[in-house]
Amino acid sequence: MLDLVVLAKRKVADRMVELVLCSPDGTDLPAWPLGAHIDLVLPQSRIRPYSLCGDPADRTRWRVLVRHEHFRQNSTEASASRYIHDHLAPGDRIGCRGPHDRFRLVGASSFAFLASGAGIAPLLPMARAIAAARIYPWSLVYMSRDDEEGPLRREVSSLGPRATVVSEYDLDRTFAAAAPSAAVYVCGGSNLVDRAEVAAAQHPRVSLHRQRFDAPSRTGGASCDVLLARRGERIHVPAETSLLTALRANGIDVPFSCGAGICGACVVAVLSGRVEHRDSILTRAERDAGSQVVTCVSRAADHHLTLDL
């Protein structure tokens, strides 16, 4: 785990701050790919993922955006964001894991980036890189109704006429106009991502890559038995218990971070059985392959799974 220092903290919207993090001794931070995120390790064992939004070429500092999730009173996400907004200050030390590469920029004929709120964080570096390449058609749409998001709006607008800030947007228009083999990247809350998934289903020639900043609404499901192939053990997962919780309760140290199916830290390989995917990180192709399960939210579609553990 890295020990970092908060170099700066500034308000960029009504309920959003930007943190600038650096090494205490000024040494370079690890390199990170476009779309990467880090896990901030906060007091009381709270661990939350945040997308890097700065310049990958600048190894002296990392930038992340943190939205104050005040309406989720009892969630880990709300607790972490309250701590960062209300207590974390420049000069404070903070633990960090990563960077993690779970939201990759793929090869495509063209690119469309759609974001809302803090979802702009991973898409800004991607859009900058594609714009600098001067090879691919691209566009960036930032959906914002908050007049106080001035710093973020200006950063989006600085990318030129292909980057726009709007209050409402017809997502189907993006998918309908996309060329074959185009890639559409969507990042934001469930409302935006759900709408994008509906639009993408009507345009299968376009590849959708999405990352949500909140948990899916479905919880629970049927109970199941899970065979751990390498250990030769079988465990039972009750209906209201996640795979991750059951695995860790039985001494299987599966890494985890978000607990909401949005970071990919707890992905485990599936050897047999069908998965009911409830995450927001696996691509359509990865879901169809059925060879991975995001254990914090996804479950067995039947009553049995065999995992590579």
> Which band of pLDDT confidence, cut at 50, 70 and 90, is reported for residue 111?
very high
Q: Does residue 105 lie in a domain region?
A: no
> At which of 177, 212, 247 does a domain end?
212
Q: Does residue 217 lie in a domain region?
A: no
> At which of 180, 212, 244 does a domain end?
212
Tell me: do 203 and 236 sit in the same domain.
no
Q: Does residue 219 lie in a domain region?
A: no
- Output the domain CATH number for residue 253: 3.10.20.30
Tell me: do 124 and 208 sit in the same domain.
yes
Output the CA–CA distances (angstroms, integers) from residue 222 to 237, 252, 254, 279, in the order listed.
Answer: 9, 21, 22, 17
Output the CA–CA distances (angstroms, integers) from residue 97 to 5, 36, 156, 167, 236, in the order listed.
Answer: 14, 12, 28, 35, 31
Q: Which residue segment(s) compose the domain that 181 sits in?
A: 111-212
In whole angstroms, give the CA distance from residue 4 to residue 40: 10
Q: Does residue 205 lie in a domain region?
A: yes
Q: What is the pLDDT of residues 40-70, one digit of tens each?
A: 988 876 788 899 999 999 999 999 999 887 6
Q: What is the pLDDT of residues 150-206, one digit of tens each?
A: 888 899 999 999 999 998 888 888 888 888 889 999 999 888 888 898 888 888 889
- Output the domain CATH number for residue 19: 2.40.30.10
Tokens of 298: 């996804």
Choose between 125 and 257: higher pLDDT.
125
Backbone phi, psi, residue 15, to 5°: -125, 35
Q: Does residue 106 lie in a domain region?
A: no
Tell me: do 122 and 179 sit in the same domain.
yes
> At which of 212, 235, 269 does a domain end?
212
Q: Does residue 264 lie in a domain region?
A: yes
Q: How many CB atoms lie within 10 A of CB 175?
A: 22
Q: Does residue 159 lie in a domain region?
A: yes
pLDDT (average), residues 10-21: 92
Tell me: do 162 and 250 sit in the same domain.
no
Which residues share a beta bridge with 63?
A: 20
Tell me: do 156 and 136 sit in the same domain.
yes
Q: Does the pLDDT value for residue 74 go beyond 50? A: no
Closest CA to 34 of 116, 109, 117, 132: 132
Tell me: do 200 and 235 sit in the same domain.
no
Tell me: do 240 and 275 sit in the same domain.
yes
How many domains, the chain?
Answer: 3
Tell me: do 189 and 251 sit in the same domain.
no
In whole angstroms, give the CA distance from residue 141 to residue 169: 8
The torsion angle over the Cα atoms of residues 65, 264, 69 and 111, rounded to 10 degrees, is 50
Tell me: do 194 and 232 sit in the same domain.
no
- Output the domain CATH number for residue 204: 3.40.50.80
Does the pTM exceed 0.75? yes
> Which band of pLDDT confidence, cut at 50, 70 and 90, is reported for residue 215?
low
For residue 77, what pLDDT is reported? Answer: 62
Name the H helices within the chain. Answer: 76-86, 120-133, 150-157, 171-177, 190-201, 243-249, 284-289
Tell me: do 165 and 80 sit in the same domain.
no
Tell me: do 12 and 87 sit in the same domain.
yes
Tell me: do 115 and 203 sit in the same domain.
yes
Q: Does residue 193 lie in a domain region?
A: yes
- Chain mean pLDDT for the chain: 89
